[in-house]
Structure 1
């Protein structure tokens, strides 16, 4: 089956004799395989398998261990997640285990499926017989291995460090692994499994907890927190606190020491490109281009205007010529003359002449006919036009009465329009006069002018607010209404109360007998009074508010510190915050503070992640108590040599924290010595390699013949001796 991997295949497999054992450290995190007697394993990879399909061909490939992201982009990995053969450090998925063994033997250089070398493979403490028998069946029947030996990884690590002189013959081996943590007591150089202890907590849970905390703290960077990157951050920055509660209080107070212990991980960030403003030469060049374009547009407009003027002048000359000829034509020849010109009547030609004249004046930019002259014409002809209005009605016929009413309405409308126009002109002149006077006063004494404007603005704003309060509350300011509430009459203004009075009077007058409201002209006069709008209701034409608005705009022009008051009853002005802001370098920084010691703390307090089991220090006390019944002095012998091994014991401060925890549960004065393995990650393989290279190793294995003859019961009683 095809493999995708960057691990190079070994080429010296045939140089080793068939008696040389193959050593396999089958850990839940990494798979290590090599030859007995060597210092380092030949092949090391992650103990996971993934089987994606090719996007174009649909072929299924097997990805074992760490994958290459550059190659996997051609495969569909959505329906194939990485899978591990382990469940709590016990192998239970032997189909996946077969892929891993195939890949391991292939990278070691084995040709074919037959393996003619003895195999030493590690397992967990008190491995179930079913898992051991399935592993033996896989090695014997699939690969044809001549003999197999099973050993505990933590025991091999302890014996290897004993050979180095780090630990003694009696002691404890504490192995915080990938998914579990084991404690194995050693007495006279041999592990005592009845005193061993196990907790389902390990480096996997530490990394997963660390990943959750970072994802909750920085949800916008969740895609950055991949498993591999979080694993690297954990091994680089995490540590075990000597006292978890005191360390947490230190970060809670935000002291200088806490800031020194905070680490920063800078994510990739590219600063946005800052566009520099154009130079003076560029601005001058753009201005010159704009000026040339404007000049060209002006020339085009002038040419178009000249052409239009010529057309209108020619048209006017033609119309004038027609009118001159029409005067010389007799009455009987006018229809035939007009038929040749295309006009229906003389009035149409005059109308076209007047329209062309007006268009020519507009094209030349000349002012229209003076409005004064038109007004004078209207005034001169007013007597003639509205002469019918001075005639009494009894002297007019029905048609003349109807025309008189129409002329009366027309005259009233015309006069009202002229009065409104005159009023607007007067207001505009008055406004210009006030602005001119204000400007003269400001230029004469700017400071005094600004102070006067502020004082006037304050006075006017108070008057307007007071009037609005009176209009709303009805002038109830005597303090009798202590609750602040007002009645219906107090909420009405003066005009509304007048309407209510008129309605009440009309209701009392018409309340008895037949309702004849509207039959008389006086009733409609009352209706007009009730529907009349009071000038006080129209806030838009209030002179004080108009003046207040003018002063406010004037203050905003000359005083940049001026802030106009917000009217009562309206919502405060909300300053719009921009929805987006440019991202800075600080937005791509991940600060690691309390997470540095909070995540490894679950090795001592698994209840932080919801696992109700004992921590490492409590497990050591449990193992010691289980062996204390055999001998009283065994407790001191065990605590004199406590070896911690495994990948999760690389956190700084774990030895001191473990020693302090064990000292809390041991009697005062007990000898306690916590040691770390020389290489916590590879010492299990080193010890297994040293054990398999011994001359007595073949006597510790069982052969394929023994497997077929003795079966599973013999595997149940099988146990290697670590002191050869």
Structure 2
């Protein structure tokens, strides 16, 4: 079953109110709190004050059309039922556009469902007065269409409208105060004096619970672009409700999150459902509001420790296998290069033994266009072999030959030999050239080994005799090695962009080398223009010339860097693991890693589905609610909540101002953030004179106080309710746009 929307959750207050649920009586009025996210409806007895009630029904204010393919029937689903199936969820419609009723076909379906839930089964009419809430300054057209629906469609005796925030204040015995109401679509502030809303001084902020939910969802999508599941708006709303809070000092909270420790303290892990384990056990933790702050909540301590040890051993074995494979491949490469070098040096020996035309023909048959190309290949191979021997990786030990081979026919003239003898002489010449090349290579190897041994001995002597100088020199080499690796990475990144200066210079060098002769100082017009690079395919030459040489040099630099690091760790007491480059990078990236993975960085395993299905909320917890005070953070060019309140209070002086300031009343489900009252009090107090004290109070129940206030007003102020209601006779006489004002209404009379 899919997760229910957050408004489906029934709090303990509603569960306790079952005994006090109102029942239908002959003289009762129907109270409808028509919220854009949830509709609450019930009965209230006129002239008979009742104890605290809760609405008889409450459900999401949505409608969906569903088609049963088996029965070939169409159904209209309302409220919770609209979320029962994927097909119905995809066709959900709301009667609201923002916080104004615009879809009157949908609101008619919602009202049908409401009256059915209230137990009204009469045909063609609803014989109860109606009291319905509406938004601040609701357009006259929307109200007139509702009047037409009530009187023409349901034949009700009378209709009355009012503002939900004023009813909530009335229920909480606030007759004079500054009301701050934030709902699903918008937030508004209005003063209330003598139990009457002063709508002419009201202010509105286009930010509500739905926009906050969408903002949080976008932040999570940017933070985890590769998250394996689709996070729905309902799940984002639940995360916002359960884990968000208002920072009492936003700047201080941001500064605290500038450190990994402060970020980890504010981190909350939201675990989404993941796949079942191979042994049949499941790691699913549903997003039901009971999310734990610890990552390993589905494993006990012994299992977690055993799993961590198993993973560490697995990684160690994988590292050993990779090392063995790398050494084997390096040895094979080196052996191949030595064989190639031996063959190419033997090929070069024919230069002094053949005519130039024959020699060039021989080179062409071996794949070389010029002598220079052969020399370049030999030098490059010798340099690569020298580097490989210097790092001591994959060196091939040749067997000592027992005796030098003899070549008796080399000095014999050709005219003294028969045809077979001439062929044998040529073979011996080739063998002699190969033997000489091997001897030279052997001598070079011995010389290189001697030089390396001498260098190592000098380094060891310096370490023992002059340790401070040795440490200083090794530290310098270590820093230079880091700079070289970073420079190579930077250049590699630049070369990947063909429009960069480095890429253009390299292409120019390539074209120069590819040409038969170097370009002159002056370029001629016309046919001598170089068009190389005009075609995008020309740039593929990068990939062709970027062979194994670059990767070998990079590997050599990495091995040299690791050697320096290991020697410093072994012989320099002041050089610890915290001084290594890896530790430096970890310190630089720890903040971003904590931002993404929380405090459990050591335990986090990218291959574990349990960790893949986790969202970490830290900065987002107070960033989203902060939009109420700084709307520009969400791209809204309006004043914040504290500025709106201060602007309204400036319109009043003396006793009235002090009365409003000491009764700032918070209502609406979007005001349930923790610390919102204290933050608003502190921010508003800074804008007031010293003799004006600010006090912020909350509604008893953000969810039901508006409906309870409507029921209380109907029961306690029955005369006001009757006189301010629009009757059927008045509707027939004065039209659908006729409206009566009262102290708790949502519209201003001209």
TM-score (norm 1): 0.56
CA distance in 2, matches of 1:110, 1:240: 44
Work out which of the two has the higher radius of gyration on C-alpha atoms and give 1 or 2: 1
| 1:342-375 Cα distance to aligned partner (Å, 9 max, x none) | xxxxxxxxxxxxxxxxxxxxxxxxxxxxxxxxxx
SS of residue matched to 1:174: strand
**Contact 1:197/1:622 (<8 A) preserved:** no
Show the counterpart of 1:585: 610
1:27 maps to: 35
The secondary structure found in structure 2 opposite 1:644 is strand
Asked if the contact 1:607–1:613 (Cα under 8 Å) also holds between the matched residues in 2, the reply is yes
1:119 to 130, 135, 139: 130
Q: Is the 8 A contact 1:602 1:608 kept in 2?
A: yes
Q: Distance in 2 between matches of 1:218 and 1:539?
A: 63
Q: Does 1:653 align with 2:675?
A: yes
Whether the 8 Å contact between 1:48 and 1:82 is mirrored in structure 2 is yes
How far is the alpha carbon of 1:199 from its aligned partner? 1.2
Shift of 1:632: 4.8
**For 1:92 and 1:540, how far apart are their aligned partners in 2?**
92
Equivalence map 1:375-414=2 (5 Å):
none
Q: CA deviation at 1:117?
A: 0.6
- Please say if 1:234 is aligned against 2:247: no
Equivalent residue, structure 1, for 2:265? 260
SS at 1:133 equivalent: helix
* Distance in 2 (alpha carbons) for counterparts of 1:210 and 1:496: 71
Task: Assess if the C-alpha contact under 8 Å between 1:605 and 1:615 holds in 2.
Answer: yes
Q: Deviations over 1:612-655 (max 9, x none)?
A: 22221122123223x33xx5543222111100100011110000
Structure 1 residues 531, 655: closer, same or farther in 2, change over 3 A?
A: farther
Pick from 74, 79, 82: which aligns with 2:92? 82
Assess if the C-alpha contact under 8 Å between 2:176 and 2:192 holds in 1: yes
How far apart in 2 are the matches of 1:623 and 1:471?
Answer: 89
Q: For residue 168 of structure 2, give the secondary structure of its aligned residue in structure 1.
A: helix
Within 5 A, what are the aligned runs for 1:184-223?
184-221=190-227, 223=229
**8 Å contact 2:183–2:208 — kept in the other structure?**
yes
Aligned twin of 1:425: none
1:49 and 2:57 are equivalent in the alignment = no
Give the distance between the partners of 1:495 and 1:269, measured in 2 at CA.
64
Contact (CA 8 Å) 2:143, 2:737: kept in 1 or not?
Answer: no
SS in 2 for 1:62: strand
For the 8 Å contact 1:13–1:110, the answer to whether it is kept is no
Distance of 2:239 and 2:27 partners within structure 1? 43
Distance 1:119 1:703 in 2: 10
Is residue 182 of structure 2 the alignment partner of residue 176 of structure 1?
Answer: yes
Aligned to 2:164: 153
Deviation string, structure 1 residues 478-526 (Cα, Å, up to 9, x no partner): xxxxxxxxxxxxx98475264267324999xxxxxxxxxxxx999x989
1:469 Cα deviation after fit: 13
The alpha-carbon deviation at position 85 of structure 1 amounts to 1.1
1:675 to 697, 720, 726: 697
For residue 205 of structure 1, report the CA deviation from its aligned partner. Answer: 1.3
* Distance in 2 of aligned mates of 1:706 and 1:92: 24
Distance 1:237 1:14, change over 3 A: closer
CA distance in 1, matches of 2:211, 2:242: 17
> Is the contact between residue 149 and residue 720 of structure 1 (CA under 8 Å) also seen in structure 2?
no
Any gaps of 5 or more consecutive residues in structure 2?
11-17, 281-326, 360-413, 446-547, 560-604, 746-750
Aligned residues of 2:82 and 2:92 also touching (Cα < 8 A) = no
Whole-Å Cα distance in 1 between the matches of residues 211 and 124 of structure 2?
Answer: 36
Residue matched to 1:620:
645
**1 CA distance for matches of 2:157 and 2:611?**
61
Aligned to 2:657: 635
Between the aligned partners of 1:270 and 1:72, the Cα distance in structure 2 is: 22
Q: Would you say the 8 A contact 1:502–1:530 is kept in 2?
A: no
What residue in structure 2 maps to residue 437 of structure 1?
Answer: none
Q: Give a deviation string over 1:190-233, Cα, whole Å, max 9, x none.
A: 11111001111011111112222223333454635233332222
Matches of 2:242 and 2:606 in 1, distance apart?
33
**CA RMSD between the two structures:** 4.4
The answer for the alignment partner of 1:272 in structure 2 is: 277
Query: 1:147, 1:704 within 8 Å by CA — same for their partners in 2?
Result: yes
Find the residue that maps to 1:127 and give its secondary structure: coil
1:98 aligns with 2:142: no
Provide the C-alpha distance between the structure 2 equivalents of 1:125 and 1:231, rounded to a whole number of angstroms: 24
Contact (CA 8 Å) 2:228, 2:612: kept in 1 or not?
no
* Residue 354 (structure 2) pairs with residue 502 (structure 1): yes
* Whole-Å separation in 1 of the counterparts to 2:726 and 2:692: 43
Q: 1:600 aligns with which of 625, 630, 635?
A: 625
> 1:153, 1:644 → 2: CA distance?
12
1:708 aligns with 2:732: yes
Cα distance in structure 1, aligned partners of 2:606 and 2:138: 58
Conserved? CA contact 2:606–2:612, under 8 Å: no
Determine the structure 2 residue equivalent to 1:59. Answer: 73
**TM-score (norm. length: structure 2):** 0.54
Cα 1:271–1:707, aligned 2, differ >3 Å: closer, same or farther?
closer
Q: Which residue matches 1:371?
A: none
1:661 positional shift: 1.9
Change (3 A) 1:219 1:100: same
Is the alpha carbon distance of 1:541 and 1:229 closer, same or farther for their aligned partners in structure 2, counting shifts above 3 Å? same
**Partners in 2 of 1:114 and 1:542 — Cα distance?**
113
Question: Equivalents in 1 of 2:273, 2:743: separation in Å?
Answer: 53
Secondary structure of 1:83 counterpart: coil
Alpha-carbon distance between aligned partners in 2 of 1:531 and 1:88, rounded to the nearest angstrom: 95
**Contiguous gaps of at least 5 residues in structure 1:** 276-456, 473-490, 508-519, 549-566
CA 1:537–1:244: 2 relative to 1, 3 Å: farther
- Taking the TM superposition and a 5 Å limit, the aligned residue runs for 1:133-532 are 133-162=144-173, 167=174, 169-221=175-227, 223=229, 225-255=231-261, 257-269=262-274, 272-273=277-278, 493=345, 495-496=347-348, 498-499=350-351, 502-504=354-356
SS at match of 1:56: coil
> 2:32 touches 2:40 (CA, 8 Å); kept in 1?
yes
CA contact (8 A) 2:41 2:57 kept: yes
Task: Answer whether contact 1:503 1:530 (CA < 8 A) is retained.
Answer: no
Q: Tell me how far apart the structure 2 counterparts of residues 703 and 177 of structure 1 sit (CA, whole Å).
A: 30
Give, in whole Å, the separation in 2 of the partners of 1:539 and 1:230: 77
The question of whether the paired residues in 1 share the 8 Å contact of 2:64 and 2:82 is answered with no
**d(CA) in 2 for partners of 1:534, 1:32:** 101
Cα distance, 1:506–1:104 mapped onto 2, change above 3 Å: closer
What's the counterpart of residue 318 of structure 1?
Answer: none
- Paired with 2:109 and 2:633, the residues of 1 have a C-alpha distance of 36
Deviations 1:8-34 (A, max 9, x none): xx9x99984543211100011110110
Distance verdict in 2 for CA 1:57–1:259, change over 3 Å: same
Once structures 1 and 2 are overlaid, which stretch shifts more, 662-671 or 33-42? 662-671
Q: Distance in 2 between matches of 1:569 and 1:209?
A: 46
Q: Write the distance in 2 (CA, Å) between the matches of 1:98 and 1:680.
A: 26
C-alpha distance in 2 between matches for 1:684 and 1:91: 18
Change (3 A) 1:140 1:712: closer
C-alpha deviation, 1:586, in angstroms: 3.1
Structure 1 residues 622, 530: CA separation in 2 closer, same or farther (over 3 Å shift)?
farther
